[in-house]
Structure 1
Amino acid sequence: MRIASLLPSATEIVCALGLADQLVGVSHECDYPADVVAGVPILTRSAVPAGLSSAEVDATVSDLLRRGESLYMVEEETLAALNPDLLITQELCDVCAVSYDEVCCIAQRLPSQPKVVSLTPPDLNGIFADIATIAAATGVLERGQALIAELHARLDRVAAQVNKHPRPRVFLLEWLDPPFAAGHWAPEMVALAGGQEVLGKAGEKSFRVTWEQVIDAAPEVILIAPCGYSQAAAEREWATLPKPAGWETIPAVQQGRVHALDANSYCSRPAPRVVDGIEQLAVRLHQRGEEQGTINVQQIA
């Protein structure tokens, strides 16, 4: 089979199912596994320039949407030359990838007439369902079932540990400027890691909040996890932002429990590595094992 993935999460799932050798094209954001995607033709590009701050990204995206312009473009000639049998896209997020409708229109024009599979995971169960969907579409259903069972087993091990501890109040910041509370699977990640998300809503879209709301929620832990940012990028931008009045009154700040996450790898993408993220969060939220060298988060305030 010849698989074209227009999503980083789909690329990760395809590879986790042992189908890396069948990937013929990926999106411009697909970066994992690095050794797999290196040299694979890139099929998309973004209208949003690289290197913008979170505030500039927000303004640019809002302006493009207001004008009715696409945020992403497909390299249709490249895609056609690859003759894909399967084209994987999404319908979950209007600003995350090429729109589903556009992908379907392009697929109809391709000589290979590929099957289009759309992923729309609103929550963690949706991520597992997407793994099963891709496994079924590629003829490796048993591999998909085995992968899902393995991920569930890891979550069970986390639950057995965190259920022994009190649940700290947590705020996961999904965008920096303007601030957004987390949605979809991210609040579930916090809950499964043994925390209590104070603003974000599982299974729903992320939403804008005020710093007054954050202060009033009095989180004991703040997780800086802007969508698509690496840990280092989150740290850099967070350091440049002025902190709101009353910031020092938040319990998380007083206790030195404001942490940056590698959201791009372990939180933003609905792929198997969200379970890695839950495991890492469980350690961080319960302040255990920092000496183990397995934590991929960094205290920043």
Structure 2
Amino acid sequence: MRIVSLLPSATEIVCLLGLRDALVGRSHECDFPADVRSVPVMTYSAIGVTQENGEIAANLTSAEIDALVSQQLADGQSLYGLYLDRLEAARPDLILTQELCDVCAVSYGTVRAAVRDLTPRWGGTAQVISLEPTDIEGIFDTILTVAELTGRLAFGRQQVRALRERLEHVQEAVSRIPLAERPAVAALEWLDPPFAPGHWVPEQIERAGGRCVLGRYGKPSVRCLWEDVAAAQPSVVVVMPCGYDLAGAIQETQSVAHLPIWGQLPALAQGQIYAVDATSYFSRPGPRVVDGVEILAGLLHPEHWPAPTLAQAQRIAHLFETTVVG
């Protein structure tokens, strides 16, 4: 089988199933496991890119990226493109893509159109599968879907069973904490402007023993106001800008740390503001969302669950030292 994965989460699933050698193409954002970087890149970002590597220019701020994305969508333009010559050369049997989020990856319609035009040239067919989980159970179903499509269903069931057991261990550890004593958690999926979390992130918070006070379970993330964040009165804030690693999350936080609104948050007074590696554990609907639950459990309840590593999450309350609390 020859697989092209146009989603980082799907690439992780393919590798989880032991099918790394079947990958003949990936998106420009697929970077885990590390050895997939040698797989040919099939996509590129249409905003602020260097065409050779397909990635968004590193010097763009959150506000600039948001403005470019909003304008591109308003103009009816796609945020991503396909290298058609590379896709033709890859000659895939199976292409994994998505319809869930136009901001997250190349659109399903773009992929279908490309396959329709290209498959006659290589004299074969390619199955195009859209993966679009909105919660953790949906992510597990996605793993099983890919496993079935690739003849690895029994092994896929084993992997899902192991992931479920890890979740159960976390929930057992935090089950002794009364609901009234669970911290009010505000996760931020973008900072300029702020976005409240959606899809599986509120569930990650709840499973880790927190109360999600900002966001929508199973729905897309939504733009909000800083006043909304303050009104939620979170005792913990977790900064997880979509697509950013830990260093990027810390850097993005520094750009908004001067805002006086932070001083109105109980989280700052208690020193409970954290940055996390969002792209690895929270942004992608893949196996590592379970790691994300474990990370949150360690942040919220270190007396019940091991603390995350410094590569996964860091306390960043010191960034707000000049912010007036109260």
Query: Distance in 2 between the 1:93 and 1:38 partners?
Result: 24
Q: Distance in 2 between matches of 1:127 and 1:159?
A: 18
Q: Distance in 1 between matches of 2:68 and 2:307?
A: 41
Q: Secondary structure at the match of 2:21?
A: helix
Residues 92-122 of structure 1: per-residue CA shift (max 9 Å, x gap): 1011111111111111222332001110101
Aligned equivalent of 1:102: 110
**Structure 2 residue 172 is the aligned partner of structure 1 residue 160:** yes
Aligned partner of 1:300 among 296, 316, 325: 316
- Give the TM-score normalised by the residue count of structure 1: 0.96
Deviations 1:52-102 (A, max 9, x none): 111111000111112222210101111111110000000110111111111
- Find out whether 1:30 has 2:30 as its counterpart: yes
Q: Judge which range, 172-181 or 67-76, deviates more.
A: 67-76
Shift of residue 243 of structure 1? Answer: 3.9
What is the RMSD of the two structures over their aligned residues, measured on CA atoms? 1.5
TM-score (norm. length: structure 2): 0.89
Matched with 1:266 is 281
Residue number in structure 1 paired with 2:62 = 54
SS of residue paired to 1:215 = helix
Q: Secondary structure at the match of 1:198?
A: strand
Cα 1:290–1:137 shift into 2, 3 Å: closer
Q: 1:42 aligns to what?
A: 41
Structure 1: where are the runs of 5+ without partners? none
Deviates most, 24-33 or 290-299: 290-299
Q: Per-residue deviation at 1:288?
A: 3.6
**Is the 8 Å Cα contact of residues 95 and 126 (structure 2) preserved in structure 1?**
yes
Question: Identity of aligned pairs, percent?
Answer: 51
Does residue 246 of structure 2 align to residue 231 of structure 1?
Answer: yes
User: In the alignment, is residue 16 of structure 1 matched against residue 16 of structure 2?
Assistant: yes
Q: Distance in 2 between matches of 1:280 and 1:150?
A: 17
**Could you tell me which residue of structure 2 aligns to residue 65 of structure 1?**
73
What SS class does the counterpart of residue 15 from structure 1 fall into?
A: helix
Is the alpha carbon distance of 1:285 and 1:90 closer, same or farther for their aligned partners in structure 2, counting shifts above 3 Å?
same
User: Cα distance 1:292–1:285, how it changes in 2: closer, same or farther (>3 A)?
Assistant: closer
What does residue 301 of structure 2 align with? Answer: 286
Q: Deviations over 1:183-205 (max 9, x none)?
A: 00000000011000001111011
Counterpart residue identity of residue 207, structure 2: L
The aligned counterpart of 1:86 is: 94
The answer for the alignment partner of 1:144 in structure 2 is 156
Aligned length: 300
What does residue 4 of structure 1 align with? 4
1:291–1:148: structure 2 CA closer, same or farther, 3 Å change rule? closer
2:236/2:273 contact within 8 Å kept = yes
Residue 174, structure 1, aligned to residue 185, structure 2: no
| Conserved 8 A contact 1:90-1:97 | yes
Counterpart contact for 1:211–1:244, Cα < 8 Å: no
The CA distance in 1 between the partners of 2:24 and 2:218, in whole Å, is: 32
**For residues 85 and 198 of structure 2, what CA distance do their matches in structure 1 show?**
36
Q: Distance in 1 between matches of 2:302 and 2:270?
A: 12
Q: What 5-or-longer segments of structure 2 have no aligned partner?
A: 49-56, 318-326
SS in 2 for 1:91: coil
Shift of 1:291: 8.2
Look up the equivalent residue of 1:38 and give its one-letter code: R
1:222 aligns with 237
The CA distance in 2 between the partners of 1:39 and 1:184, in whole Å, is 31
Counterpart residue type for residue 267 of structure 1: F
1:132 aligned partner, one-letter code: L
Alignment of structure 1 residues 112-127 onto 2, 5 Å:
112-127=124-139
Q: Distance in 2 between matches of 1:196 and 1:293?
A: 19
TM superposition shift of 1:249: 2.6
Distance 1:59 1:211, change over 3 A: same
CA separation of 1:285 and 1:242: change in aligned 2, threshold 3 A: closer
Please tell me the residue identity of whatever aligns with 2:136. Answer: L
Distance in 2 (CA, whole Å) between partners of 1:131 and 1:190 is 22
Supply the distance in 2 between the matched residues of 1:220 and 1:72 (Cα, whole angstroms). 38
Q: Distance in 1 between matches of 2:209 and 2:316?
A: 21
Q: Deviations over 1:185-227 (max 9, x none)?
A: 0000000110000011110111111111111111010000010
Q: Which residue number corresponds to residue 249 of structure 1?
A: 264
Secondary structure of the corresponding residue to residue 260 of structure 2? coil
Equivalents in 1 of 2:287, 2:91: separation in Å? 28
Q: Which residue of 2 aligns with 1:190?
A: 205
Matches of 2:307 and 2:295, distance apart in 1: 11
Question: In structure 2, how many angstroms separate the alpha carbons of the residues matched to 1:195 and 1:293?
Answer: 16
Deviation at 1:135, TM superposition (A): 0.5
